């Protein structure tokens, strides 16, 4: 008879969380490419996949991450912010093109703001 201890459950949750963080990191990289290519279908598909991974992470409850996972979490945070900026830029670019085609003088909603998140 095998007995599962609380420690075993915590270790399994940490391992699953690490896998999910890796998956989320990969999804953010794919999303970055999709945003740069203005691939609407891929962006929508990736949004759904990110939501699934996020829900899976939430379902694990509280997880005590090790140092490597914490580093990956920070990389995910930075990647998500970079993708958010790419999205704002893409939206502004599309609006400017529409305004030019329509003969209107368009201004970027982000005011042409560019941020450097590399530190």
Q: How many CB atoms lie within 10 A of CB 28?
A: 19
The domain spans of the chain are: 6-101
> In angstroms, rounded to a whole number, what is the distance separating the alpha carbons of residues 22 and 28?
10
> In angstroms, rounded to a whole number, what is the distance separating the alpha carbons of residues 106 and 7?
59
pLDDT tens by residue, 32-70: 999 999 899 999 999 999 999 999 999 988 888 889 989
pLDDT tens by residue, 5-41: 777 767 788 889 999 999 999 999 999 999 999 899 9
pLDDT for position 41: 96
Q: In this model, does residue 2 exceed pLDDT 90?
A: no
Please, are residues 86 and 35 in contact by the beta-carbon 8 Å criterion? yes
pLDDT tens by residue, 103-119: 887 565 555 555 566 65
């Amino acid at each position: 008879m095998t007995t599962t201890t609380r420690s075993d459950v915590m270790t399994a949750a940490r391992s699953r969380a690490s896998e999910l963080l890796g998956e989320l990191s990969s999804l953010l990289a794919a999303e970055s490419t999709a945003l740069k290519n203005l691939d609407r279908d891929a962006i929508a598909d990736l949004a759904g996949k990110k939501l699934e991974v996020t829900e899976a992470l939430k379902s694990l409850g509280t997880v005590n991450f090790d140092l490597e996972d914490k580093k990956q979490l920070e990389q995910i945070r930075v990647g998500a912010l970079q993708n958010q900026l790419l999205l704002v830029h893409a939206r502004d670019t599309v609006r400017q093109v529409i305004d030019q085609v329509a003969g209107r003088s368009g201004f970027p909603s982000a005011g042409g703001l560019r941020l450097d998140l590399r530190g």
